[in-house]
Structure 1
């Protein structure tokens, strides 16, 4: 007989695993002078400039909405910082049936699956996984199931995917959340993304490789991508479409803030159950 704790954790984990594909490298505003210059750039050059800008990101806020293979429709808002490493996300999806919260603080991952989880954990709302204490293939699988791989990456890598496309074109100019942008589009394979990453520095290439891996797990090998770039040559929004093993991918990410203060704190200890201790107890 499967324990109610396992059922509850898995239900919350499904939503967290969605977390993040996440995605990003945004910006929020630009001067009129800069906006007037951006449309004059060649499409490939404009996309490359936006990708390069992602390398100076230390924190960002964003929202995403759309559909993911095997997970249904998704809506989320998130904030993250690279120094210190931290991330916070709230997400709803058609498969989770409610709101799932995810926090990453250093190497500790926290998951809140909602009232159902709290009820089955003796009133505690959060499950904690200490990734620094993991060991063995089984522990790695547990971490990935809880969304550790997604939470641990910087989503800025996705905006650089379009640099690998050979058919980048300018679609037109559009206003996104009050910001004037230039819309670019193209189609890229994951092999193209890897090839383009070879010309980047080691850290950037490794980061992009982690992002590519997430799409490979979904069975997506080619992506039609749209990107909206503001007058400061930063991505304001991007959309990815493709076909995965378990259904379509159609995800749009809009950036709400860049390099602004982001604070993420661990949930109170009295509200948290340590997954390692929970597993030991179950084995006992």
Structure 2
């Protein structure tokens, strides 16, 4: 395997490691939700799932390390499609289409790929990146709190000019705070979980529910197929020219 292939393999390992998440070991809180609160969150799950798409942005902080995330997700079809741009710690840019995932590489890696800045993967080969994008679906934290049975209503609050109701609760690993508007749509979510590296706080804001999400593949002139690259760089069997 030559230098080019080694660089790409190292990059892929880093991406998969960076996308994979962990959960803490916090004890599960005793369920203490009243029926009306749970009913409100169930309605929010239905409303959010029905919206089909949204834009999102936010931050993830562990200790003194922070990354920002921004993108859009369309979950109205299976598989979901969307875009995710991460800056700061673990910087990455991902485009998930129905059959492929495109990962943008930095200039140093692109130099080893003939100046091309995008790697193309089969969706099944980059499952962790897809999981990271799917984790941005706004109904996900709402479903988790409903399933936990531990959720409380804090009261009305305004988030970015939108009147919402603030709820919070705990799962087996996290505290989750949700701000839901009168239409039942999630406007803000804050998740806190304890890991070996410290507490990670993820804050997400959601807008543009129901808007069309267009995800385009990068130009072929800017793209390298990862599988084809690996096959081309694999050593020939002994005795084969």
Whole-Å Cα distance in 1 between the matches of residues 119 and 230 of structure 2? 12
* Deviation by residue 1:96-117 (Cα, 9 ceiling, x = unmatched): 3xx4210011110100022222
Closer/same/farther in 2, CA of residues 264 and 126 from structure 1, 3 Å limit? same
Distance in 1, Cα, partners of 2:156 & 2:121: 45
Report the TM-score when normalising by structure 1.
0.67
Return 5+ residue gaps in structure 2 as ranges: 22-34, 236-241
Taking the aligned partners of 1:48 and 1:74, their CA distance within structure 2 comes to: 31
Deviation of the 1:280 alpha carbon: 0.9
Helix, strand or coil for the counterpart of 1:123?
coil
Structure 1 residues 15 and 144, CA gap change in structure 2 (3 angstroms): same
Match of 1:243 among 184, 194, 206: 194
Contact 1:16–1:101 under 8 Å retained in 2: no
1:180: which partner in 2? 163
TM-score by length of 2: 0.78
Question: Quick one: distance in 1 between partners of 2:145 and 2:120?
Answer: 36
Other-structure match for 2:86: 91
Aligned to 2:27: none
How far apart are the structure 2 equivalents of 1:277 and 1:244? 37
- Offset of residue 154 of structure 1: 7.1
Is the alpha carbon distance of 1:283 and 1:276 closer, same or farther for their aligned partners in structure 2, counting shifts above 3 Å?
same
Matched residue, 2:148: 165
Over alpha carbons, which structure has the higher Rg?
2
* Count of residues paired in the alignment: 219
CA displacement, residues 130-153 of structure 1 (integer Å, 9 cap, x when unaligned): 23xxxxxxxx6x5235x1343467
- 1:13·1:113 contact (CA, 8 Å) conserved in 2? no
Question: Structure 2 matches for 1:140-219, cutoff 5 A?
Answer: 142-144=125-127, 147-151=129-133, 155=137, 156-189=139-172
Structure 1 pair 50/56, CA: closer, same or farther in 2 (3 Å)?
A: same
Alignment match, 2:102: 110
Alignment of 1:15-34 (within 5 A): none
> Aligned partners of 1:76 and 1:276: how far apart in 2?
28
Aligned match of 1:280: 231
2:144 touches 2:171 (CA, 8 Å); kept in 1?
yes
Mapped to 2, the partners of 1:20 and 1:271 lie a distance apart of 27
Q: CA deviation at 1:172?
A: 2.6
2: CA distance, partners of 1:49 / 1:119 = 51
Greater helix content: 1
Corresponding residue for 1:54? Answer: 48
| SS, match of residue 183 in structure 2 | coil
| Per-residue deviation, 1:125 | 0.5
